[in-house]
Amino acid sequence: KGGKKEKHQKKITLSGLLNAVDGLYSASEGEHIMVFTTNYVERLDDALIRRGRMDKHIEMSFCGYEAFQMLAKNYLGIDRHALFPEIGRLLNETHITPADVSEILNTKSNHEQGDDDKETKIHACLQTLLQVLQEKARVLTTTNNEEHQEENTNESVEVKIMV
Burial degree of 65 (CB within 10 A; 0-12, 13-18, 19+): middle
What is the model's pLDDT at position 110?
A: 53
Number of other CB atoms surrounding residue 90 within 10 Å:
19
The three-point CA angle 105-102-83 to 5° equals 45
pLDDT tens-place string over residues 12-52: 888 888 888 888 777 777 777 778 888 788 888 898 888 87
pLDDT tens-place string over residues 70-95: 999 999 999 999 999 999 999 999 99
